[in-house]
Amino acid sequence: MRSFFAPAGSVFRTYATGGSPRSKLGPTLSLEHFVQRARVLSLYRHILRATRRIADPSTRADTRRFARQEFERNRGVTDLDHIRYLLSTGKTEWESMERYIDGL
């Protein structure tokens, strides 16, 4: 007859409350990091959508490539103040670029 109890030394599945050292999701974000991440993704999507207005295909591709490189370059930033600074700077730079695009 089989026992309903797991043998000593067996591995139990860990759930959200237990945490797993081999989690595929990575470390848990704080609420503030989560909010800033959402803002970064929102800005990135806004930039990609707005590049559709650029008539020249090569200029559009270059603009998208530049935006992606900038976001990738700063991907590892974890300091909240620095993230806020990058968001503010990115928004300002993109707004000036949009004025130029709208003028074309």
Q: Which residues of 34-57 are buried (b: 16+ CB within 10 A; e: fewer)?
A: eebeeebeebeeebeebbeebeee
Going by pLDDT thresholds of 50, 70 and 90, the confidence category of residue 86 is very high
85 or 27: which leads in pLDDT: 85
Give the pTM.
0.72
Q: What is the mean pLDDT of residues 40-54?
A: 95
pLDDT value at position 11? 52
The predicted pLDDT at position 41 comes to 97
